[in-house]
A and B are shown apart, each in its own frame.
Chain A
Amino acid sequence: VTPTTASSFAARFAVLTTRPFARALERADRFDLCASMTLLLMLLYAGNPIRLKIAITILVVSAFVFAGLRRHPLFWFVLTAAYVVGSAPDWLKLDNHKYLIAYWCLACGLACLGEQPMKTLAFNARLLIALCFIFSVVWKLLSPDFMDGTFFHFSLLSDRRLAGVARAVGGLDADQQQLNRAAYRALINYNSQLTFVQLASTPSVKLLAGFMTWWTIALESLIAVAFLLPRPGALSAVRDYALLLFIASTYAIAPVVGFGWVLATMGFAQAGGPLRLVHVLYVAALLVLQLDRIPWQTLL
Chain B
Amino acid sequence: VRGLLRLLVVAVSERAIPGAPGAEPRAGALGHEWRIPREWVLRLAAPSLLVAVALGQFWLAWTVGLSPWKGGGFGMFSTVDAPSARFLRAHLLRASEEIPVLIPEGLQSLALETRTLPRREGLTRLAERLAGGTWVPYRFTTAVQRYLDLSGFPDLSRWPDRDPTDTGGWSDDRPIVFSGVPLLRMLGREEALRLAGDPEAFERVRLELWRYRFDAGTARLRASVMLEATADRPDQ
Q: A151-B78, A154-B80 are in contact. Are A198 and B113 (CB under 8 A)?
A: no
Check if A115 is an interface residue, CB within 8 A of chain B: yes
State the majority secondary structure of interface residues on A: helix
Q: Size class of B's contact patch?
A: 35 or more
State the majority secondary structure of interface residues on B: mixed
Interface string of B14-55 (1 = CB under 8 A from A): 000100000000000000000000010111111101110110
A183 to B105, CA, bound (A): 24
- Which residues of chain A are near B214, meaning CB under 8 Å? 145, 150, 153-154, 199
Interface string of B117-160 (1 = CB under 8 A from A): 10000000000000000000000000000000000000000000
Q: How many A-B residue pairs have CB under 8 A?
A: 157
Q: A115-B17, A120-B43, A200-B219 are in contact. Are A135 and B75 (CB under 8 A)?
A: yes
A:121-141 near B, CB below 8 Å? 123-124, 127-128, 131-133, 135-136, 139-140
- Which residues of chain A are near B1, meaning CB under 8 Å? none
Q: Closest Cβ of chain A: how far from B98's Cβ, in Å?
A: 10
Do A124 and B43 touch across chains, with their CB atoms under 8 A apart? yes
A196 to B23, CA, bound (A): 66
- Which residues of chain B are near A145, meaning CB under 8 Å? 79-81, 213-214
- Which residues of chain B are near A296, meaning CB under 8 Å? none
Do A188 and B212 touch across chains, with their CB atoms under 8 A apart? yes
Q: A110-B42, A198-B220 are in contact. Are A96 and B50 (CB under 8 A)?
A: no
List of 10 A-B pairs having minimum Cβ-Cβ separation, nearest first: A139-B75, A99-B72, A191-B100, A135-B74, A154-B214, A139-B78, A107-B46, A201-B219, A127-B47, A143-B79
Q: A128-B50, A150-B80 are in contact. List 9 more A-B contacts (CB 8 A).
A: A131-B54, A135-B54, A135-B74, A183-B221, A190-B103, A196-B222, A198-B218, A199-B221, A254-B77
